[in-house]
Amino acid sequence: MLRAAYQLGNHVRIISPEGQVLFTQKGKLLGYSSEVVSILKGNALYICDHQGNTLSTHHYTESQPAKANSSKSLLFYLLFGCLTKMGDVYRLYQFLGRGTSIGADGGDLNWKNIGIWFLSISFWIACFFAASKMGIVG
């Protein structure tokens, strides 16, 4: 039975229910219960009993988001979005530069350009949502 386990520098110390030190091992404490303790040594996870015997080992990798890849993909989407916006601004400039008001051109609205604007807005909303799910935007 284990009462406690704690990190002491580079070592993990295991305490019995009576308060005696059962064993000390080099590594990082990941967790413990009344029966076992999990100790990280390098990239291997050791599950040990109350006597320090290794019950099992597992390959361990910390689950952290890959910041470089997600930042690069976000940068790609932002640049693509900027290109889309520049095209939309140019199309709006052409549309407004005709000199006629929106309703005065015989009802011939350019629905393609309006659709591109809505697509662009949807794209930015999707980028923001994806970035927030990836933990990039707080």
pLDDT tens by residue, 107-129: 555 667 677 777 777 877 777 77
Domain range holding 35?
4-59
Q: Do the beta carbons of residue 22 and residue 14 sit within 8 Å? A: yes
- How would you classify the pairing of strands 54-59 and 44-48? antiparallel
- The reply to whether 87 and 55 lie within a common domain is no
Of 59, 87, 106, the residue that ends a domain is: 59
User: Which residues neighbour 30 within 8 Å (Cβ) at sequence distance 6 or greater?
Assistant: 38, 39, 40, 45
- The reply to whether 54 and 71 lie within a common domain is no
Reply yes or no on whether the pLDDT at 28 is more than 70: yes
Reply yes or no on whether the pLDDT at 104 is more than 60: no
- The reply to whether 71 and 117 lie within a common domain is yes
- The whole-number pLDDT of residue 75 equals 65
- The whole-number pLDDT of residue 126 equals 77
pLDDT digits (tens, 9 = 90+) for 60-100: 777 654 454 556 666 666 766 766 677 777 777 776 666 55
- The reply to whether 74 and 127 lie within a common domain is yes
- The reply to whether 40 and 89 lie within a common domain is no
More confident residue, 12 or 79: 12
Q: Closest Cα partner for 30 from 76, 70, 61, 68?
A: 61
- The reply to whether 51 and 73 lie within a common domain is no
- The reply to whether 72 and 44 lie within a common domain is no
The structural domain count of the chain equals 2
Whole-number Å distance between alpha carbons of 21 and 40: 19
- The reply to whether 123 and 72 lie within a common domain is yes
Of 59, 76, 91, the residue that ends a domain is: 59
- The reply to whether 45 and 91 lie within a common domain is no
Of 43, 59, 75, the residue that ends a domain is: 59
User: How many residues are there in the chain?
Assistant: 138
- The whole-number pLDDT of residue 109 equals 59
Whole-model pTM: value is 0.45
Whole-number Å distance between alpha carbons of 116 and 125: 14
